[in-house]
């Protein structure tokens, strides 16, 4: 009995020290094994972002999709094989992009330190570094030591990636199944301050919300008129719109004032206003400093979901195929 109390106390203490949040991840895992790793990832990422300002959105979304399916194990990067349809070929993969950037970073790392740096860590760091470019400082801490999985199933992406049509209950269930709170849900949705969305993922809200040719009453009607000029019909699957009109490459807290004015693009965005508690969280996050602080903490939790560490998994040589 005493032993049990002692052990529980130890676990609680370690949690306070931040060990349990990141599992066995740690700061600068590659300090001895590949000291240049984080610098290489950062400088490569910066180069790619300066050529393509849309990249930060692609990489952070890819990291999110990775972490929600089998944990952050780079399973999202694996290509389908003759026998298996992988996550990246599942329906929610729509416009996942940036695979080539991860491959480029990986090959630079393989030159310097072969078989040392995992694809899962590369993705976590590159997502952070890409979003951080405009600030010239790291916007959140990324612990490292993830290892790569060997399994990627399209069906699991479908089952685990929340859909833009999700309501509040479905969203909170999805996040809590990954150990994330309502607070994390509202905070991480703020990533929709950058990037684009395809018309067909929200045009039901413009044209035929309940099957009666109506509009979603939770969508700002002025904004709906604007969106209709972009998405001319409900069957348009190719046109994209900026999620934060006018500043879709700028990472800031604009998502929240937009959301509060009923200008969230997806039903899943609008759903965040449906309870008092979540609406209050959104209201607090309008303050940019608050948003950045909270985002940094929630990203750390996201990046620790279901990670493989120690001798689990492998260090892939090429991020798109298992060894
Ligand atoms: C809360 C549940 C979420 C839902 C239902 C959701 C859904 C979506 C959808 C449908 C798109 C548009 C994809 C397209 O049309 O190409 C999108 C884009 C995006 N999502 Fe989310 N998302 C969620 C949470 C997150 C989280 C947690 C992050 C990151 C921390 C994130 C980051 C992004 C980014 C950056 C884009 C823009 C991608 C681009 O520009 O290509 N999302 N999301
Ligand atoms: C695919 O399936 C075939 C036959 O079932 C098997 O011989 C082969 O090893 C499998 N390939 C992979 C990559 O799993
Ligand atoms: C996404 O999946 C579809 C099939 O559902 C596939 O045609 C497409 O190439 C995939 N996109 C990427 C970027 O892998
Ligand atoms: C970015 O930060 C680094 C130090 O972290 C500094 O040396 C450099 O001058 C900064 N660049 C700009 C454009 O501010
Ligand atoms: C949310 O969606 C689920 C599945 O469609 C449904 O069963 C549930 O009633 C919805 N909840 C609310 C509050 O609308
Ligand atoms: C709206 O949806 C209903 C039910 O799905 C369908 O019968 C109707 O044709 C749609 N109307 C338009 C204008 O697309
Ligand atoms: C809808 O958007 C308009 C124009 O941007 C804004 O003035 C108005 O306050 C918004 N409506 C609501 C209900 O927030």
Q: Convert the pLDDT of each residue in 87-108 to its tens digit.
A: 999 876 667 889 999 999 999 9
**Residue set of the binding site:** 66, 69, 71, 73, 75, 87, 162, 192-193, 244, 252
For 206-219, the pLDDT digits (tens) are 999 999 999 999 99
For 235-263, the pLDDT digits (tens) are 999 999 999 988 999 999 999 999 999 99
Ligand 1: distance of its center to the CA of 192 in Å? 6
Q: Hey, which residues are catalytic here?
A: 65
Domain 168-301 has CATH 3.30.10.20: no
Ligand 3 closest atom vs CA 99: 13
Q: What is the mean pLDDT of residues 170-185?
A: 98
Q: What is the mean pLDDT of residues 226-238?
A: 95
Q: Which residues pair with 318 in a beta bridge?
A: 321
| Residues of the chain above pLDDT 90, percent | 89
Which band of pLDDT confidence, cut at 50, 70 and 90, is reported for residue 233? very high
Query: In terms of DSSP H, where are the helices of the chain?
Result: 2-16, 37-51, 55-68, 99-112, 119-132, 154-160, 168-176, 182-189, 204-207, 221-230, 255-260, 267-270, 276-284, 288-302
Ligand 6: distance of its center to the CA of 209 in Å? 9
Domain-wise residue ranges, the chain: 24-161, 168-301
Ligand 3: distance of its center to the CA of 267 in Å? 23
Q: What is the mean pLDDT of residues 298-315?
A: 98
pLDDT at 3 over 80: no
pLDDT at 20 over 50: no
Arch. (CATH architecture) of 24-161: Orthogonal Bundle (1.10)
Tell me the average pLDDT of the chain.
93
């Amino acid at each position: 009995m005493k032993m049990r109390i002692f052990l529980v106390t130890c676990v609680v203490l370690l949690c306070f020290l931040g060990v349990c949040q990141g599992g066995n991840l740690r700061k600068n895992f590659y300090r001895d094994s590949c000291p240049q790793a984080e610098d290489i990832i950062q400088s490569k990422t910066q180069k790619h972002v300066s050529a393509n300002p849309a990249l930060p959105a692609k990489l952070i979304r890819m990291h999110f999709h990775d972490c929600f399916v089998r944990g952050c194990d780079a399973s999202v990067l694996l290509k389908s094989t003759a026998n298996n349809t992988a996550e990246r070929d599942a329906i929610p993969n729509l416009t996942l992009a940036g695979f080539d950037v991860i491959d480029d970073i990986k090959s630079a790392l393989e030159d310097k330190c072969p078989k040392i740096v995992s694809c899962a860590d590369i993705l976590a760091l590159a997502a952070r570094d890409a979003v951080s470019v405009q600030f010239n400082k790291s916007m959140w801490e990324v612990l490292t030591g993830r290892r790569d999985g060997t399994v990627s199933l399209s069906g699991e992406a479908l089952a685990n990636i929340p859909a833009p049509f999700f309501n509040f209950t479905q969203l909170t269930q999805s996040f809590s199944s990954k150990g994330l709170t309502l607070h994390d849900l509202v905070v991480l949705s703020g990533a929709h301050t950058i990037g684009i969305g395809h018309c067909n993922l929200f045009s039901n809200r413009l044209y035929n919300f309940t099957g009666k040719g109506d509009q979603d009453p939770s969508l700002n009607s002025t904004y709906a008129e604007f969106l209709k000029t972009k998405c001319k019909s409900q069957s348009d699957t190719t046109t994209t719109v900026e999620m934060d009109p006018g500043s879709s490459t700028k990472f800031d807290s604009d998502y929240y004032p937009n959301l509060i004015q009923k200008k969230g693009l997806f039903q899943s965005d609008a759903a965040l206003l449906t309870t008092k508690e979540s609406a209050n969280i959104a209201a607090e996050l309008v303050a940019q400093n608050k948003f950045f602080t909270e985002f940094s903490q929630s990203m750390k939790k996201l990046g620790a979901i279901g990670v493989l560490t120690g001798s689990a998994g492998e260090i892939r040589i090429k991020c798109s195929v298992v060894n």
